[in-house]
Amino acid sequence: MLIILNAFIFHIRNNIKKIVTIYFLSTFCILVLLYNFLEKNKVDDQMQFSVVGKVFEQLSLVSSRLEMTRLLADLFKQATPHEANIIANLSLGLLRPSYEGTQFNFAEKNFVKVLAHMLHSTVEKIEHLAKERGDVGSVINSNAWHAHKELTVLNVYKQLSAIEDLSGTGSQEEKAEQVEALLKDVDPISAKYLIRIMLSTLRLGFSDMTLIDALSWMEVGDKSLRTQLENAYNVCADIGLIASTLKSEGIAGIDSMHIHMGIPIRPAAAERMPNARAIIDKLGPCVAQPKLDGFRLQIHVNKTDKHNPVVKFFSRNLIDMSAMFPDLVKAFLKLDVKELICEGEAIVYDPDTESFLPFQETVKRKRKHGIEQAIIDLPLQVYLFDLLYLNGKEFLGKTHEERRKKLLELFKDFKDTTIQVIQERSITSAAQLEDYFLENIAAGLEGLVVKKSDSIYQPGKRNFNWIKLKRHEEGHLEDTLDCVILGYYKGSGKRASFGVGAFLVGVFNPKKDSFETVAKIGTGLKDVEWKELKHRCDTLHLLKKPVNVECAKELYPDVWVQPKIVCVIRADEITLSPLHSSGKTSNNLGFALRFPRFVSYRDDKSPEQTTSINELQRLYQDQFVIKKTK
């Protein structure tokens, strides 16, 4: 026993240096890893809001998309994951993701009163200065004071949340006190942007796609991560969550992003083609579904908590509309599922005439008041056309055929006719497709959506997996265009009393994250509609051209407007123009609309969901296909 013990001691003595060295090296490595983890996942949010205010000011002064991206990337680099989440939303003028909504309910006239009291001035003087300088934010920015405190990003977020939450009797007075206290606690530049955020008039000239680029620049110094970040955002449309996930988990966390119940998935979109023959040549054998003229809904049903089941309805532009449709909530709660995400088209159905009502009637269901009466007057039916998620399983990677099969199984014995799976017909030839198209047109529908049976669901993508085939009118394009109002021109003659005689519209260029002009429109509206258009525009008026709008000086409107109002435009054809900026090529010619007419507003679409430059180019080329087939 003694011999064994001596041998063990001898072995220890010979290896003690190795053991000590290994111990200290391993301890050092663990400490380094722990330090890096804690640095990347700080729980103490300490960035001063003044840093954010200064960057917002810089962003408002530059027009270069690359410079904007770099400024944002540097800002995100300084932020903790929690701060990055907050900043991503604030930079878009929101307190939280768009699907949750931000509503301060504190009007500009109330800010005028706050500023008059705060700056020891009068309401009349503040109103004059606001008109002269463009907005009340610019008024406060022209003053100077020392902030009472150095508020952090988290401090400001909490105070904004508290202000938004105030409601009921006396809430406006209390909001005024809290708003003034908040403004005094920040510097004048920060105060300007806080006012604009609370008034929903923040205009920094970029969208969520620029934030995606900025996050890539933050991580690797270029846009090489854009595809991965955009894919994650398409599946989980919460830009703040994307930012905080990248900060805390790196690109590995982004690559493993999955569907979250209650967070909308960015919808897939259909391409356009001029006729049945072109579609069959493109797709081969396919399936076709009726195209209903209602509004698209993404439905989330979560019954994992038996005592508190939740049904959410998100619009095409990812706005939560759940409170508007209590009748549909009841219908979807009858489903025997734990978790479900599906898509459908909601449309008003008249049981007396057994027909669908036009979109102008269906859209009346999107209201905040008089909902119970609207349910009686305008009963909705939902026609489901896709399944995205069911009971913990994602279906995005499944083929259309597989997704539809599961959807049909789910509703096989469902008794409530408020919800139905849309019809579908297999198509093998252009003649079959043309016949089915005419059958739907005769039934008063818009046309067809044609789909590849083996295609997967690609969130946020517009491609030829789905193709629209719509009614074509002689002398017109085969489809209308969704455009954004960029400004208006003051009227003359009869329209002088309206204050508007024509308006400028543009389309979206996703590559540049900007809007490019395509038409100046002066027809298609009745007198009352001209007045409504001016009212809509005046709530979003600007003193100068937005940085994300490309427009020739010859087309500058009398009044610029924030690019937020989406409208439907019909035209006879698309031509080439030396003036309009949409899709300008090396020959310096852009696309323009010939004889454009206003049709309606599309409040269910965001500006970035309007007709893109690529679509406009295809529509231009499709005109020649149509002419050849006549």
- How many helices (H) does the chain have, and how many strands (E)? 21, 22
Q: Tell me how crowded residue 337 is: count the other CB atoms within 10 A of its CB.
A: 15
Q: How far is CA 385 from CA 283, 414, 447, 569, 616, in A?
A: 19, 16, 15, 27, 27
The residue among 59, 97, 140 whose CA lies nearest residue 546 is 59
Cα diameter, the chain:
117
How many CB atoms are closer than 10 A to CB 75?
24
Q: For residue 398, which phi and psi values (nearest 5 degrees)?
A: -80, 155
**How would you classify residue 475: left for phi > 0, otherwise alpha for psi between -120 and 50, otherwise beta?**
left
> Which of these, 492, 616, 468, lies nearest to 558 by C-alpha position?
492
- β strands within 391-501, DSSP E: 393-394, 419-421, 425-427, 447-451, 462-470, 481-489
**Angstrom distance (rounded) from CA 507 to CA 491:** 24
Neighbouring C-beta atoms of residue 586, cutoff 10 Å: 5
Please check whether residue 157 is in contact with residue 144, taking contact to mean a CB–CB distance below 8 angstroms: no
Q: How many CA atoms lie within 13 A of 161 on its CB side?
A: 9
13-26: b (≥16 Cβ within 10 Å) or e: eeeeeeeeeeeeee
Task: Yes or no: say if 518 and 552 are a contact pair by the CB < 8 Å rule.
Answer: no
Which residue in the block uniquely carries the two structure tokens 């405190």? 149
| Under 8 Å between Cβ of 289 and 448 | yes
CA atoms within 13 A on the CB side of 297: 29
- Which residues on neighbouring strands pair with residue 484, listed in sequence order? 506, 566
| Interaxial angle between packed helices 171-184 and 108-118, expressed in degrees from 0 to 180 and rounded to the nearest 10 | 50
Q: Which of 175, 291, 303, 312 is catalytic?
A: 291
How many whole angstroms separate alpha carbon 565 and alpha carbon 552?
A: 21
What tokens does 540 get? 């979003």
Task: With beta carbons less than 8 A apart as the criterion, state whether 521 and 596 touch.
Answer: yes
> Which of helix, strand or coil describes residue 100?
coil
Q: Which residue has the tokens 């508020």?
A: 151
CB 362 within 8 Å of CB 294: yes
Give the three-state DSSP class for 310.
strand
Half-sphere exposure of 78 (CA within 13 A, CB side): 16
Active site residue 303: no
CA distances to 233, 324, 345, 407, 523 from 341, in Å: 17, 18, 14, 11, 41
* Cα–Cα dist 310/299, whole Å: 10
Residue the block writes with tokens 């490309």: 550
**295: part of which helix (H) or strand (E)?**
strand 295-302
* Residues forming the active site: 291
